[in-house]
Structure 1
Amino acid sequence: MTGQQRTAIVTGAGRGIGAEIARRLASDGFRVAAIDLDHDGLDALTAGLTAAGHKAIGIVSDISDESAVDSAVARTADELGPPVVVVNNAGIIRDNLLYKMAVSDWDQVMNVHLRGSFLVSRAAQKHMVEAKWGRVINLSSTSALGNRGQANYSAAKAGLQGFTKTLALELGPFGVTANAIAPGFIETEMTASTAARLGVSFEDFTAKAASAIPVRRTGKPADIANAVSFFASDTAGFVSGQVLYVAGGPKA
């Protein structure tokens, strides 16, 4: 198992992509600290992992709060061992056209995606540097290339790509890699809520999306978890500063 005796932090792990990433890393042998604001989601995830024989804890924490993040990372180190893998997956959407977008919609998205990823990575990097081995994996999006109605989300996801490349430069000399994954259309509760907001069925929404994807299907959370598994492994040690578009076709 590639992650044996190593600890990973996954943010936004209460459901969807984050939960699937946590399950995959656990199956790869990592001890997993799952962070989210969704208490019930964390309970269900960690109960399932524990029942399967994995070591995992759930931490209810706001990743945009500096002291909360520092406490969460410290608790992870105390209970599971020093975190040497961080998956910055937590995210929210507050979609609107620019002229209708509230400042609070902009700030909330930036706080979770960018500030949160910065705080968690900064708190955990010392453990990676001490171990002379580490992995930072940031969840970007194809929206980083631009997407109507998502000025805030697109800017945040593009920012994460620059953040990733800079961490690769700064942390590389200490045996730490940093990479980003940019999902395309993935079937999650978040995309289902977008369909509901548009007044269309999720089935019609996904069918329309699939028709524009070269492989003619939409993505599943497992597709992203598979990419995370690779980046978190020993075999990915010579891959850093990269953005992998997992979108069923060429995007970047």
Structure 2
Amino acid sequence: MTAPSVLVEQHGSVRWLILNRPEHRNAMNDDMIGLLSSHARDAEQDSATSVIVVAGEGKSFSAGGDFRHFLAMDESEGILPFLERVSECFARIEASTKPWIAAIQGHAVAGGLELALVCDAVIAAHGTLIGDAHLNNRLLPGAGSSVRLERAIGKANARWMHLSGELQQAEEFTAIGWIRDVVPINELRSRAQRLALRLAAHDQAAQQNMKRLLLSLEDRRASEGLRRELEAFGDNWVEHDVPSALRAFLSTRTTQNSRKLTMTETREATTGRYVGRTVLITGAAQGLGLAMAERFAFEGASLAIGDLSEDAITDAARHIHESYGVDVTATRMDVTDSTHVTDWVAASRDRHGTIDVLINNAGIIRDNRIENISDEDWAAVVDVSLTGAFLCSRAVFPHMRNQRYGRIISFSSMSWRGNFGQVNYVAAKAGVVGLTRGLALEGARYGITANAIAPGLISTPMLESMNAEARTLLVGKVPMKRAGDPSNIAEGAAFLASEAASYITGVVLDIDGGISIGSSLR
């Protein structure tokens, strides 16, 4: 039996409505909108419910409308009746006399943003990406963002989001005041529930009167603006052949063809900076490597990912392709083996046509005091982290030099400056910094940048495996008093690989919550 596209949970006086199409990043279709509208009406009428929270199942809040559904509707009743139902649903939520809270994570894009905008409060997980993004696919807003976004974040900010199509971090909206708080992903729902209970503590009748008053003071031009938005969407849909652009987008995301897109096709078919780019990532089966692979896949990159575990890297590739539709190849490889590395790079070049970005992520830890570190433990750590980065960089460098373009990102650590009980790890990660600076000097004249990322305490399986007391002690030494999220690292890598970072080379980017300002964690 297929699960409903909107789940309902009741926690005391708080009703949770959870978008439930995680395999499609909770993209909206008629079924989801119908259920959301129905559940919104039920929650409004339920005297036992004081506050409603809307959230998304899986990794994303909502990536907006389901393009396949758009095309299907266009061929039946037309696209505008569907958008009218979306607008009516969102208007119902906005006009509710009960408070609504949006708990967002992953992506809140286009329709996902528009749903958040009709809520009274928004709380987000660290690393959440938010954007209008309609224009990237020839679309105009159709569910209220042209009216409501300016009201939430101001005219200049709204205009930029509409016209640029850029995705921005949730943290950028806290200073503006639209997002109330940004929290670790594993705390999102508990914090949203606490926020909801604070609102539910008030007298319900008085609170409903307060909402009626606030709604009555809203700009009366809003309804006219929403009507005009729908008309403009329909006109643009026909005049600029939007269905063709959406079909091209969907074709790009589902094809396994490795040919490179032309610049015209790229502009028409995708929202991503990395369509037409090939990204190689070592140690990509889990943790930070997998998070970075997903981040680049989200923006359309072709991927060649490697890991020592064949089963794990194959599963990762399958997951990425099913989630993002990009071309991804998985290889069981040992970064300490020169032949493995050379063969992997050559095969990736043959398959994808170019090698644009290399991320040297593979690394291991075998910590101990110096007198207890064996020859094998020393060699293993240095070989994987430093020699592996050298071998991979050496293998891609001629390709990048010939194409006069390349990005090499290698992983150091907050420990590279020195840390107790880690002399092998410190030596390897300090060596990565030296390698990076040397590569930066050699590559600069060829359009190749080389930079390093030094992560701090990040919520990975390695950190979670520590006993709770030790983990709490370590996190307590971070100035921000929390561990980072893998998405924080993935965003750093996506930036360093982008055109925005084209004049940055030879640097170490600390992503550590401020711990590098102080001294050793131990």
TM-score normalised by structure 1 residue count: 0.94
**Contact 1:146/1:154 (CA < 8 Å) preserved in 2?**
yes
Question: After the TM superposition, which residues 178-197 of structure 1 pair with which residues of structure 2 at under 5 Å, given as runs?
Answer: 178-193=450-465, 195=466
Identity of aligned residues (%): 40
Matched, 1:221 2:492: no
**Partner residue in 1 for 2:110:** none
Displacement of 1:246 in angstroms is 0.5
Contact 1:140-1:158 at 8 Å conserved across structures:
yes
Contact 1:84–1:125 (8 Å) recurs in 2:
no
Alpha-carbon distance in structure 2 between the residues aligned to 1:168 and 1:157 = 17
Alignment of 1:81-160 (within 5 A): 81-160=353-432
Q: Distance in 2 between matches of 1:238 and 1:29?
A: 23
Distance in 2, Cα, partners of 1:106 & 1:5: 40
Task: Give yes or no for the alignment of 1:247 onto 2:516.
Answer: no
Change (3 A) 1:250 1:191: closer
1:161-176 to structure 2, matched below 5 A, reads: 161-176=433-448
1:72-128 deviation per Cα after TM superposition (whole angstroms, max 9, x unaligned) = 001111112221200000001111110011010000111101110011011111111
Say whether the 8 Å CA contact 2:477–2:515 is kept in structure 1. no
CA positional deviation for 1:251: 1.4
Q: Which amino acid aligns with 2:301?
A: F
Contact residue 6 and residue 81 of structure 1 kept, 8 A: no
- For residue 58 of structure 1, what is the aligned residue in structure 2? 330
Point out the structure with max Rg over C-alpha.
2
**Number of residue-to-residue matches in the alignment:** 245
Q: Is the 8 A contact 2:285 2:306 kept in 1?
A: yes
Output the CA distance in 1 between the equivalents of 2:356 and 2:508: 20
Q: How big is the shift at 1:25?
A: 1.1
The answer to whether the Cα contact below 8 Å between 1:28 and 1:229 also exists between their aligned partners in 2 is no
Aligned counterparts, 1:13-52, within 5 A: 13-52=284-323
**Which ranges in structure 2 are unaligned for 5 or more consecutive residues?**
1-271, 518-522
Name which of structure 1's ranges 39-48 and 204-213 shifts more when overlaid on structure 2: 204-213
Distance in 1 (CA, whole Å) between partners of 2:474 and 2:366 is 20
Contact kept? 2:414, 2:455, Cα under 8 Å: yes
- Structure 2 CA distance for aligned equivalents of residues 223 and 132 of structure 1: 29
Q: Is the 8 A contact 2:456 2:515 kept in 1?
A: no
Query: Could you tell me which of 490, 498, 519 is aligned with 1:233?
Result: 498
How much does 1:207 deviate? 2.4
Pairwise CA distance, 1:214 = 1.4
Distance 1:118 1:221 in 2: 24
CA distance in 2, matches of 1:191, 1:153: 16
Q: Is the 8 A contact 1:135 1:177 kept in 2?
A: yes
CA contact 1:8–1:33 (8 Å) conserved in 2? yes
Within-5 A mapping of 1:69-88: 69-88=341-360
Cα offset for 1:250? 5.4
Whether the aligned pair in 1 keeps the contact of 2:281 and 2:358 (CA below 8 Å) is yes
d(CA) in 1 for partners of 2:463 and 2:426?
15
Equivalent residues of 1:49, 1:55 under 8 A apart: no
Equivalent position of 2:202 in the other structure: none
Runs of 5+ consecutive residues of structure 1 not aligned to the other structure: none
Determine if contact 1:95/1:149 at 8 Å carries over to the other structure. yes
Query: SS in structure 1 opposite 2:483?
Result: coil
Q: What is the letter of the counterpart of residue 239 of structure 1?
A: I
Instruction: Name the aligned partner's letter for residue 160 of structure 1.
Output: V
**What's the offset of the Cα at 1:129?**
1.0
Q: 1:118 & 1:27 partners in 2: Cα distance? A: 28
1: distance between equivalents of 2:515 and 2:420? Answer: 19
The DSSP-based 3-state class of the residue aligned with 2:488 is: helix
Residues 3, 30 of structure 1: 8 Å contact kept: yes
